[in-house]
Amino acid sequence: MRHLLILSFLTLLVGCGVKPPMEGRRDPYGHTQIHFADRDLRNHTAIDTPIVTRDDSGNLLHVTVPIRATTDLRLYVEYRVTFFDANGQPLPSTTWFPKTLEPNIPDRIQVNSVSPQAKDFQIDFRYAT
């Protein structure tokens, strides 16, 4: 009887008052450089591998993204760019820039960093508002 009472007390003591922490979910998709705000926009465009270069004079990062509207309609889109430093910290983002994509005509978006600290980038696309 005494052992049962001690065992009950220990079970109560161990199980009371301490909850496990709520851990965040890991994003299964990881980091990508091109993002679309709308599935429809993604499905109506084709993007090729970004071309990334660095100039000799200011050591700025230059990014060219080949893009094409894959529909028979003219697409009005906007894009913004965020550059990241070597630690993955964002440098100031650009404003939203307008871009008109003619039907089925290859085009490109060209941007460059304003700081030599830029090591990576992310471009976000959305329909023009």
- Read off the pLDDT of residues 13-51 as tens digits, 9 standing for 90 and up: 555 677 888 888 887 877 789 999 999 999 999 999 999
Q: How far apart are CA 40 and CA 44, in angstroms?
A: 6
Mean per-residue pLDDT, 96-104: 97
Q: How far apart are CA 63 and CA 52, in angstroms?
A: 5
- Select from 104, 98, 96, 100 the least CA-distant residue to 46: 104
Tell me: pLDDT of 68 over 70.
yes
**Residue 18: CA atoms inside 13 Å, Cβ hemisphere, count?**
5
Q: Give pLDDT, residue 93.
A: 82
CA angle 37, 79, 91 (to 5 degrees): 100
The values of phi and psi at residue 68, to 5°, are -150, 140
Q: Dihedral of CA 30/34/36/37: which sign?
A: positive
129 confidence band (pLDDT: 50, 70, 90): confident
Averaged confidence pLDDT in the chain: 89
Q: Give pLDDT, residue 7.
A: 59
Whether the full predicted model's pTM is greater than 0.75, yes or no, is: yes
Give 3-state DSSP helix, strand, coil % of the chain, rounded to 5. Answer: 15, 40, 45
One-letter amino acid of 90? P
Q: For residue 103, list its beta bridge partners.
A: 69
Q: How far apart are CA 62 and CA 122, in angstroms?
A: 12
